[in-house]
Homo-oligomer: A and B are copies of this chain.
């Protein structure tokens, strides 16, 4: 057991907090609501970024960078947008400090007041559409397919590392199109990119759907999302893709001349995922001993620990390890040899379990005699001794197997914790006893949605979009007709 990590079954929330801290992923800073992402945590985020960035570029997008600050008046141009973000805006009002006259230190210089206050961007639609206005004249200027990697700030009162912080890192795609159809297709394409990323890289099965009106992004016509199930039975929204219609184009007066010279408003989309994905990754797979990382995102995929008493033994082991290290590296696998003599092998085993390294090798005097090496996989308790000259092939296959197994396990967990419910009492009991995903009928009204939320804390995560033949029924709450089941859960 890794140094007293709390057990998930006893205190899931505390387990998460401690795990994030002990695995050196992140910590709270002294600045309210802002986190420090530590090197090990950041290196996982870098792997996520690299994979996503490639997917964005493969679908024709380019990166760019827009200003951190949003003039207050921009935010106000789209009514729903300002309504949605006004309550969590960090506001810059001055641009200079000066020495206090009483010598007590520096104070904000009252004479250096901005004419218009600047908001630290909570999202960049308004700044970007204000630029697009100058970039778009004709249909020849479309589509614009841009992504930005950036920090954003939403002043949150209750924060949790990765899941909800005042400042977080994310990417935000912002595209502009000549037709509604093209913009809708882009919105769905990026939703699918997110779903593929979650499943292929994060080993995280997700449900794709569209949000109800009350959960929509402020300023969007439709918000699509991917929803994943965490081990405590709560849902986590892991990415959103918004069809903006012509809302921002009309707020910022962005028109283009079509082939016939007719002026039309431009159609828009925006889509984003954030460091919140780190929270999803941690909570979906890890156990009471620490992190479990899918090999696709593990900064160290294979670690080798030597078991030795004498320096000569270490050197003999090192010689063997060097050979396999080179073989791993040439196959694109990240490999670490932990030859420190300041820590015991047992300490190291626990440490790499805590850090979620997918495969741990160990080599001691008996292995040296036998020409073998011990291979332990992190996802299940399984160790095996294999001939040294076969270990590279063995581990390469094993990494694939681990990636697949973690996904399969998460999927099995989700299936076990997904229920079809037609009765509101049963719904409430299920939520209290087990949580999980619940497919239930809903009459389609915001009123019913709100009542259910008030009474149960469960929200409609999404209306699924992959359903071929939606089955009709009656709303479990109002008894009114429902066209299809929607996904309910308590959520992060």
**Contact (Cβ within 8 A) B38 A64:** yes
* A214 proximal to B (CB < 8 A): no
A108 to B31, CA, bound (A): 21
**Contact (Cβ within 8 A) A86 B90:** no
A45 to B148, CA, bound (A): 13
**Contact (Cβ within 8 A) B118 A31:** yes
**Contact (Cβ within 8 A) A67 B34:** yes
**Contact (Cβ within 8 A) A86 B62:** no
Choice from B38, B63, B69, B91 contacting A39 with Cβ under 8 Å? B63
* A169 proximal to B (CB < 8 A): yes
**Contact (Cβ within 8 A) A62 B42:** yes
**Contact (Cβ within 8 A) B46 A63:** yes
- Which of chain B's residues have a CB closer than 8 A to the CB of A39? 62-64, 146
In A67-105, which residues have CB < 8 Å from any B CB?
Answer: 67-73, 75-76, 82, 86-99, 105
- Which of chain B's residues have a CB closer than 8 A to the CB of A153? 68
A105 to B146, CA, bound (A): 30
**Contact (Cβ within 8 A) A29 B89:** no
A31 to B150, CA, bound (A): 17
**Contact (Cβ within 8 A) B93 A108:** yes
**Contact (Cβ within 8 A) B65 A86:** no
Given the known interface contacts A31-B67, A140-B342, A146-B39, the answer about A95 and B106 at a Cβ–Cβ threshold of 8 Å is no
Nearest B residue to A86, CB-CB: B97
**Contact (Cβ within 8 A) B120 A92:** yes
A35 to B131, CA, bound (A): 11
**Further 12 A-B residue pairs, CB within 8 A, beyond A29-B131, A69-B90, A87-B96:** A30-B71, A36-B66, A42-B63, A42-B64, A68-B151, A82-B97, A87-B97, A88-B95, A92-B92, A93-B93, A150-B151, A151-B151
- What 8 A-B pairs have minimum CB-CB distances, sorted nearest first? A34-B67, A39-B62, A86-B97, A37-B65, A95-B155, A91-B94, A31-B67, A93-B93
Which residues of A are at the interface with B, using a C-beta cutoff of 8 A?
27, 29-31, 34-39, 42-43, 45-46, 62-73, 75-76, 82, 86-99, 105-106, 108, 117-120, 127, 130-131, 140, 146, 150-151, 153, 155, 167, 169, 342
A-B contact pairs, 22 of them (CB 8 A): A27-B131, A29-B66, A29-B67, A29-B131, A31-B118, A35-B67, A36-B66, A39-B63, A45-B65, A65-B169, A68-B151, A75-B97, A88-B96, A89-B95, A91-B92, A91-B94, A91-B96, A91-B97, A92-B93, A120-B120, A140-B342, A150-B151
